[in-house]
Amino acid sequence: AQSVTQPDIHITVSEGASLELRCNYSYGATPYLFWYVQSPGQGLQLLLKYFSGDTLVQGIKGFEAEFKRSQSSFNLRKPSVHWSDAAEYFCAVGAPSNAGKSTFGDGTTLTVKP
Amino acid sequence: NAGVTQTPKFQVLKTGQSMTLQCAQDMNHNSMYWYRQDPGMGLRLIYYSASEGTTDKGEVPNGYNVSRLNKREFSLRLESAAPSQTSVYFCASTGDRVNSPLHFGNGTRLTVT
């Protein structure tokens, strides 16, 4: 069975500081990995995705994620956080043929201090 | 460029009442999904529809029914609402390409008292 663990429920960083959100997954085959962001009162928006190829993936809003098969991880990073990045972030894993049946992590809430 | 549209945005029901959540997408996607989001639990799949005329159960289908009315619309019905169904409900769709991601609506916040 597939599963996703986001170890950090809540992270607080200062504006301008770097950010890393952790994601560990369990999946029997080649995983299809996503990061989504959810602003208050909104639906989830795709930040980036990985299926194959370069293990460092660039996304929107200056985010990137690195796939590490040996560690079963897909951590999300941003070099310099902006106040507008405050939101909830979800990692998900699934089959390439059916993104809708992905398994989502429980989310990490990011607070940005001025 | 509407994407996925859900109605209503908010709803309060009494236990035992029924209601239908509406979802429509304008991206010509075949696959549509209903999720519920509860605090600290991420998203859980309720039902999905791989194409017009087909529906399948997801992880948490009990207490819900769905209808894929046409390619654009996928509705979720609560026949007899229970307090345990208090949640935020999201509709989503995906394209047909192998690595198509999910496109989400803005959600319906449902409270059952």
The alpha-carbon gap from A70 to the nearest alpha carbon of chain B, in Å, equals 23
Q: Which of A21, A101, A106 to mutate to test the interface with B (most CBs of B within 10 A)?
A: A101
- Report CB contact under 8 Å: A44, B45: no
Angstroms from B30 CA to nearest CA on chain A: 11
Going by pLDDT thresholds of 50, 70 and 90, the confidence category of residue B34 is: very high
- Count how many Cα atoms sit within 13 Å of the Cα of residue A75 in the half-sphere of its side chain: 10
Q: Do A9 and B40 touch (CB under 8 A)?
A: yes
Q: What is the pLDDT of residues B48-96, one digit of tens each?
A: 999 998 999 999 999 999 999 899 999 999 999 999 999 999 999 998 8
Percent of chain A with pLDDT over 90: 74
Q: Provide mean pLDDT across the span A73-85.
A: 97
- Burial (CB < 10 A; 0-12, 13-18, 19+), residue B89, is buried
DSSP B73: B
Q: And the tokens for A25?
A: 């997954």
Confirm if A4 and A25 have CB atoms less than 8 A apart: yes
